[in-house]
A and B are shown apart, each in its own frame.
Chain A
C-alpha cells in the first residue's frame, strides 16, 4: 500500500480513529501490529510469512544470545542470526545478480554454463526490516541492549507500518522504550503529523512524480542520446526527484507515526545544502548511514587504525552501502564514487590551506555546497541510468562530449525552465534551512498562514495524485 494511494487514505482514516477508541494499551498495540501486517499484505500477502519469520527468529536468537554464558556460543548464535537475515536478503535480493555474474564469469573462463531460470520477487521492504532486526540482535550481542520483555512490542517495532517498507530504519533502543507508556497521539502530535504527511505527499506527488519524473524519464529512458544540456537537465531533475521522493516518504512516515503517538528518527537534514560529502552523509538517509557506521564502519576499525585503514574502511562501507540499494554493479559504482569523494575530502582536509578561515565565509560555504551538489550529480547518473552503457554515455555528454550535438530528446523549453527554477528554489531553501527545522519554520508563522499553506499543498496534491503508477523509488531497495 502506497502513502500516495486512495486506499492508504481510507486505511488511515479507519485505523487512526479505531486505534484511539481502544482504551487498553496492549489491545491498541496488538491492533497496530495487525493493521501493519494488513498494510504489508496489501502488496503481496504470502510475504507476511517472511516478515513474521524474520521477527520470530531474531526474537528468540537475541534472547538466546543474551542468556548464553559462553562467548563462543554467543558468537555462534549471532552468526546464525546474520546467516539467516543476510541469507534471506541474499536469496531474495541478490540471488539473480549472483547467478548472472557467476554465469558471466564461467563464460569468461570458456565454460559453457546455462543456469536454471531464477525468477524471484523481491519482497518489498526486506532491506529495511532485516536491518532493524539485525540491529536488535547485534546490540544485544554487544551488551548495549537487553532483550525486550514483550514480544508484542518487538513485533510492533519490526512491523510498524509507517516505517515498514522504506524506513526510516529504526533502532530498537529508539522505538521499544516508546511501547512502555500508553500512547495516544496528542492533538499537537496529530495536527503536526498530518502537516508532515501533507508536506511529504507534496514532495512525492507534485515535485517528484508530476514535475520531475517526466523530464528524467525523457532523458534516461529514451532511445535517443541526450546532448550536453539534456543530460544535465535530466540529471539535475533526477537529483530533485530522488530527494523529493525519498524525503517525501520519510516525512509521511514520521508524520503518520506521530499521529499514533510514536516518534520516528529523522532521515534527512536538508542534504542539498551539504558542504562536502561527509556532511552530505550526515544529512542524507541518516538512518542508513548511521546503521552502516555502527555495524560496519566502526567494527571494521573506523578511523582508529591509521590513515590507510580508514580509507579502506570508508571504501568497503560505501561499496556495501551502494550494493544495499540494489543488486546491480551500477549501485556499486555509485557507492565507489561516493567513497572516492570521501577519501579525497579527507586528504584535502589534512592540508594546512584547507583550514584557512576563508573557507568558513558564508558565500564560500555556499559555493562549496553547490560544488558538493554538482559532484553528487555525477554519482546520481549511476543511480538512475538503466544500464552501464547509458550511464557512461550520459556522463560523457555531461562532461562536454554532447556540447555540439543537436537535441535528441523531446524536452520543451518550459520544462527546462521548470527544472532550473525548482532546482534554484530547492537549493536556496535548503541553504536557508541548513541549520533549522520545519518545526522552527512553522513556529515563525501565524496559524492562519500555516492553514493557507496546507490548503495550497493539499490542492496541489489532489490535482496531481491520480495521474499514474508511481511507487516510491526506495520501495525497490
Chain B
C-alpha cells in the first residue's frame, strides 16, 4: 500500500522549488494586501484575541512591580476587575488608571461567566493585596456559578506557573502586535467571513484591546435593526442563563454569601486589600430579573452586612442610572468611559482608593 506522504526521498516530486515558492509568496502577498485594504475601507477595527493566555498574562500582573519599566507603576497599588462581559465592556482600565494615578488596573472579567472562582483564587494568593471590583448581582454571587471561571484559574496555575510561560508570553506578544496593526489578524474576523463573505463582511461591533477591555460600538457600527436583533438575542440569552444559574431561593443565595464569598473577602481584607461589589446598569427589559425593590431587599441589601465588603449599586447614583444600556445588558464604549469616571469618583468617595490630589 503506498504512503500518503514522503517516506522515501525518491518519491518527492521534481519541481523548480525556488521558483515555485517565490511565486507562491508573491501570490500570497498579492492576496493579503488587497484584503487588508478592503477591510480598512469597510471600517473594521483591530481586535486582539481574548484568549486564556491573554487572561493568564493579565492575571500574572496583579502584583506590585518594584522594577516596572514605567516609573509610575513601580510599587503601584492594584485594582482588579472581576466578573462577566458587563465588567469587560463596562470599565476601561486605561481610563481608570489615568483617573487614579498610582493605581494599576487589571481586567480579569470573562465573557459569559461569573467571578467566584477567580475571587477565591485571589483570596488564596498571599501575594495579592489589591482592591477587587466585583461585577455583582443575584446570579454572580450564587453558588451555581462557583466553578464557571475555574478553567481559567486552572490554566493559569498549570501553564503560567513555570518557565514554560515564556514561550506562551512571546507568542502572545507577537500575536498582539500583529492583531493591533493588521486587520487580517484581527480576532473578530473569521476565515468564513474572509473567504466567503468578503464583499459584505460587516465590521464587528466589539473590539478587544490588549488590556482585555472590550469596547462595544453599538451606535456607530450597528444599524438600528441590527441593534434590535442583538437586543432580542441578548435578552433571550440572559433569561436562559438566569434560569440555569440563579439561586434557587434567598436561603440558597445567603448560604453562598456566608460560605463562599465572605471567607474570600475576609482573606483579602486581612492582607490589607478590599472588595467592592458593583452592580452594573441593566436595561428596563431585564430589571425584573435583577433590579426590583423586592430583589434588592432580599438579595442585594444582604451582601454588605454578610460579607463585610462595601457595595455600589448603579441605581443609587443618578448619573450611572441615566446611562443607556443599548442591548439591555452592556454599555456602549462612550458610556463605558463615563461610567468608569463615575466609578473612580465613587471609589474616592467610599475611600477605597487614596489618590494625592
Contacts and interface: CB of A to CB of B under 8 A. Distances in A.
A196 to B, nearest CB: 6
Interface stretch (A304-312, A357-365, A372-380, A453-461): A453-461
Interface string B36-75: 0000000000000101110000000000000000000000
Interface in A176-220: 187-192, 194, 196, 206, 210-211
A265 interface: yes
A281 interface: no
Of B12, B14, B49, B192, most buried by chain A (CB within 10 Å of CB) is: B12
Contact of A269 (B1, B13, B21): B1
A435 interface: yes
Interface in A442-459: 442-443, 447-448, 450-452, 454-456, 458-459
Contacts of A458: 24, 28
Given A194-B21, A456-B27, A466-B179, 14 more contacts: A1-B167, A6-B175, A44-B162, A192-B6, A254-B6, A263-B7, A438-B5, A439-B12, A443-B14, A447-B23, A460-B195, A463-B189, A466-B187, A467-B49
A460 B4 contact: no
Interface of A: 1, 5-7, 10, 41-46, 121, 187-192, 194, 196, 206, 210-211, 223, 250-251, 254, 258, 263-270, 282, 414, 418, 433, 435-440, 442-443, 447-448, 450-452, 454-456, 458-460, 462-469
A459 B184 CA distance: 10
Of B4, B25, B162, B187, most buried by chain A (CB within 10 Å of CB) is: B4
B15 interface: yes
B171 interface: yes
Contact of A190 (B17, B26, B163): B17
Nearest to A265: B7
Interface in B162-218: 162-164, 166-167, 170-171, 174-175, 178-179, 184-185, 187, 189-192, 194-195
Given A452-B27, A466-B178, A466-B185, A435 B1 contact: yes
Given A266-B3, A435-B2, A467-B49, A462 B162 contact: no
Nearest to A465: B185
Contacts of B162: 44-46
11 contacts: A41-B164, A191-B18, A266-B4, A435-B2, A439-B11, A450-B15, A463-B194, A464-B191, A466-B179, A467-B49, A468-B51
B19 interface: yes
Contacts of B27: 451-452, 455-456
Interface residues of B, number: 55
A192 B17 contact: yes
B16 interface: yes
Looking at chain B's contact residues, the main secondary structure is: helix
Contacts, number: 171
A188 B20 CA distance: 11
Contact of A7 (B3, B23, B167): B167
B164 A42 contact: yes
Interface string B246-259: 00000000000000
A188 B4 contact: no
Given A45-B162, A452-B27, A458-B28, A447 B5 contact: no
B49 A269 contact: no
A458 B191 CA distance: 12
B356 interface: no
Contacts of A451: 19-21, 23-24, 27
Interface of B: 1-9, 11-21, 23-28, 30-32, 49, 51-53, 158, 162-164, 166-167, 170-171, 174-175, 178-179, 184-185, 187, 189-192, 194-195, 244
A190 B20 CA distance: 12
A459 B31 contact: yes
Nearest to B175: A466
Contacts of A43: 164, 167
B191 A211 contact: yes
A250 B5 CA distance: 10
Contacts of B195: 460
A192 B7 contact: no
Looking at chain A's contact residues, the main secondary structure is: helix
B157 to A, nearest CB: 10
A211 B194 CA distance: 13
Contacts of A452: 23-24, 27
Nearest to A9: B174
A174 to B, nearest CB: 9
Given A44-B162, A463-B194, A467-B187, A7 B16 contact: no
Contact of A438 (B4, B14, B179): B4
Nearest to B31: A459
Given A451-B27, A452-B27, A466-B178, A210 B190 contact: yes
A437 B5 contact: yes
Contact of A456 (B5, B31, B167): B31
Contacts of A41: 163-164
A194 B51 CA distance: 28
A192 B10 CA distance: 12
Given A447-B15, A463-B189, A436 B2 contact: yes
Contacts of B49: 466-468
Nearest to B241: A223
B8 to A, nearest CB: 7
A251 B7 CA distance: 11
Nearest to A47: B164
A386 to B, nearest CB: 12
B1 A462 contact: no
A263 B19 contact: no
Of B15, B192, B195, most buried by chain A (CB within 10 Å of CB) is: B15
Contacts of A45: 162-164
Contacts of B13: 192, 439, 442-443
**10 nearest A-B residue pairs (beta carbon):** A191-B17, A455-B27, A451-B23, A42-B167, A266-B3, A454-B24, A6-B174, A451-B24, A443-B13, A44-B164
Nearest to A46: B162
